[in-house]
């Protein structure tokens, strides 16, 4: 049988991969200006490879005025000078591919920067050739000085912005300086598709697609109806008692996902993939991948996991739900931190946080799906709760006027920080000044977390039972074990194992040979002993290097310990 075949079918690489997200501004500064850059990243590729991940996703480093730190693009075909040059990018691709790894770029299709040459032209006059490249609309009477309708932006407040020069309003789903492109104009769509091909020709292996559900809005510009939701969630962008029916996940977006898939499928050696940042019900998320067959996005983020409480019951339910809506040949994703939300470990109490992070890691890297790890998660980097008053994040500007009691309430009821600086602070490499992030200065673009002398890569590598090595052990095992990186999943009967234990098997027929592994995760804070059905299981891996959990058919798991057994 042909190599690399699972259950008789060849599995595309992106279904088996593990993804590591880098926020380029914060990973490694090679120049001493306090800002991370491409050469700095290249210098640390051996570290990432040694960790055991296979694909690197980069937040944007295109040309940008940096109003939203790269998510406001002024030129899609060039590199922002603070990050490097196109030659540096080519070196990055070459160095990643030389290590048998893949590169994924962040792509913001919904909007550009207001400083993009297209929008500068678009604002000049109503009859400018680029006018219809963006979403412009007359205001309501009297005198057109009220917004065209009641649509809200993702960051609260009207998404319509008045331009006195042309006496019309432009639509921006996110921040005011990020005007939405008009994809109902075929010239816009053609230009953006060709831009995608440009990067694919340069060797990019895939794209993470920013707020894809906002690309198309209702062409009739109808008011969004009433909603009873106050705060947005992973399932809905409704907020402040206003629905997002006509501005998020409008049906044309699902067809657009298929159009994007057709473009990337033009490139087959190797195959490329698309990972969408979308929010909505599970049915809506599935629609982005293809309602009846997987002919849309290859993957979508399933953000429910981010806020999931660390219990066997919660994770069991998530597995069931994700498997229901994303069964093979679809595949779920598992993500717990990113550049927009509070770091996962900071949601755990300090005492026992490392053990909880280890069990979270064991789950993420053994369940069926594609895991995404945010830079620094592997060394237990925590959220740096910086003062809102000094925030650089443009999203935070709306919240600075809120009373502190309201800010604290928002932090408690949502995963999203009221400013995002705290999860974007510089990577902590060692115990030296600036945590080894910058070679020559202390004035880094964001302050390094004060705990950097304790929490850093250097210390993690010196401690053989650190979170870093837990990640590394599970990642390397996942790389070489088809049952883990590609196999089916079967949940064990919850009634036959202790309450705080989550158990499942992963199995596959690989190259004609059957392979099964058994996963047991203790989500409780107490030691648990129980029996397993087979006396001949052997221990493959544990979250703890000192544990001896197996004695015949008896398993004894320490608090927050996870293990994998083999037949």
Residue from 72, 82, 205, 210 carrying the catalytic annotation: 210
Give the C-alpha separation, 305 to 286, whole Å.
16
Sign of the CA dihedral 169, 170, 175, 177?
A: negative
Contact between 436 and 442 under an 8 Å Cβ cutoff? The reply is no
Q: How far is CA 205 from CA 115, 269, 379, 566, in A?
A: 28, 10, 27, 34
Contact between 422 and 384 under an 8 Å Cβ cutoff? The reply is yes
Q: How many CA atoms lie within 13 A of 558 on its CB side?
A: 15
Sign of the CA dihedral 423, 426, 427, 431?
A: negative
Reply yes or no on whether 277 is catalytic.
yes
Q: Which two tokens stand for residue 321?
A: 């739900």
Q: At what angle do helices 467-480 and 353-364 cross, to 10 degrees?
A: 10
Reply yes or no on whether 210 is catalytic.
yes
Tally of CB atoms within 10 A around 428: 27
Q: Of all helices (H) and strands (E), which one includes residue 475?
A: helix 467-480
Residue from 91, 277, 321, 465 carrying the catalytic annotation: 277
Closest C-alpha to 461, from 423, 424, 429: 429
Helix segments in 290-334, DSSP class H:
312-325
Contact between 135 and 123 under an 8 Å Cβ cutoff? The reply is no
Q: Which two tokens stand for residue 206?
A: 């895939």
3-state SS track over 157-178:
CECEEEECCCCEEEECCCCCCC
Closest C-alpha to 436, from 95, 69, 36: 36
Burial of 300 (0-12, 13-18, 19+ CB in 10 A): buried
Give the C-alpha separation, 217 to 396, whole Å.
25
Closest C-alpha to 247, from 159, 187, 177: 159
Rounding to the nearest 10 degrees, give the CA dihedral for residues 382, 95, 53, 302. 70
SS3 181: strand
Closest C-alpha to 493, from 483, 480, 504: 504
Sign of the CA dihedral 319, 320, 324, 329?
A: positive
Q: What residues act catalytically?
A: 210, 277
């Amino acid at each position: 049988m042909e190599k690399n075949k699972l259950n008789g079918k060849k599995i595309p690489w992106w279904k088996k991969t593990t993804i590591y997200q880098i926020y380029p501004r914060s990973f490694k500064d090679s120049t001493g200006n306090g800002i991370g850059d491409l050469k700095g990243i290249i210098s640390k590729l051996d570290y990432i490879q040694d960790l055991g991940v296979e694909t690197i996703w980069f937040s944007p480093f295109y040309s940008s005025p940096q109003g939203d730190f790269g998510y406001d693009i002024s030129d899609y075909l060039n590199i922002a000078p603070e990050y490097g040059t196109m030659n540096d990018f080519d070196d990055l691709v070459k160095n990643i591919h030389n290590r048998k790894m893949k590169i994924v770029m962040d792509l913001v299709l919904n909007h550009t920067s207001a400083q993009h040459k297209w929008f500068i032209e678009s604002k000049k006059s109503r009859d400018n050739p680029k006018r219809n490249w963006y979403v412009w609309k007359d205001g309501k009477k009297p005198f057109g000085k009220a917004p065209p309708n009641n649509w809200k932006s993702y960051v609260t407040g009207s998404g319509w912005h008045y331009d006195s020069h042309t006496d019309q309003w432009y639509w921006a789903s996110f921040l005011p300086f990020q005007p939405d492109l008009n994809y109902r104009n075929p010239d816009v769509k053609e230009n953006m598709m060709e831009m995608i091909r440009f990067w694919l020709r340069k060797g990019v292996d895939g794209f993470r697609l920013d707020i894809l559900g906002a690309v198309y809005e209702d062409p009739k510009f109808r008011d969004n109806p009433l909603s009873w939701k106050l705060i947005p969630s992973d399932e809905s962008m409704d907020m402040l008692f206003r629905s997002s029916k006509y501005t998020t996940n409008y049906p044309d977006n699902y067809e657009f996902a298929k159009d994007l898939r057709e473009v990337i499928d033009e490139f087959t050696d190797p195959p490329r993939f698309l990972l969408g940042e979308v929010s909505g019900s599970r049915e809506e998320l599935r629609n982005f991948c293809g309602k009846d067959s997987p002919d849309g996005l290859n993957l979508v983020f399933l953000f429910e996991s981010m806020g999931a409480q660390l219990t066997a019951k919660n994770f069991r339910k998530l597995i069931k739900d994700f498997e229901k809506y994303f069964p093979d040949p679809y595949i779920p994703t598992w993500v717990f931190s990113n550049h927009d939300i509070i770091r996962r470990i900071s949601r755990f109490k300090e005492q026992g946080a490392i053990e909880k992070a280890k069990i979270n890691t064991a789950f993420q890297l053994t369940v069926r799906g594609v895991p995404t790890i945010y830079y620094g998660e592997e060394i237990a980097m925590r959220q740096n709760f910086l003062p809102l008053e000094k925030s650089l994040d443009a999203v935070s500007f709306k919240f600075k006027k809120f009373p502190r009691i309201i800010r604290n309430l928002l932090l408690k009821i949502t995963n999203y920080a009221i400013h995002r600086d705290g999860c974007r602070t510089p990577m902590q490499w060692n115990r030296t000044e600036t945590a080894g992030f910058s070679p020559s200065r202390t004035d880094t673009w964001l302050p390094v977390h004060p705990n950097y002398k304790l929490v850093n890569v250097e210390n993690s590598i010196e401690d053989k039972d650190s979170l870093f090595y837990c990640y590394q052990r599970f990642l390397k095992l996942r790389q070489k074990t088809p049952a883990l990186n590609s196999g089916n999943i079967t949940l064990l009967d919850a009634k036959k194992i202790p309450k705080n234990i989550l158990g499942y098997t992963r199995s596959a027929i690989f190259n004609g040979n059957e392979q099964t592994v058994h996963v047991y995760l203790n989500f409780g804070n107490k030691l648990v002993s129980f029996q397993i059905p087979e006396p001949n299981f052997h221990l493959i891996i544990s979250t703890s290097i000192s544990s001896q959990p197996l004695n015949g058919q008896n398993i004894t798991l320490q608090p927050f310990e996870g293990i994998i057994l083999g037949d």
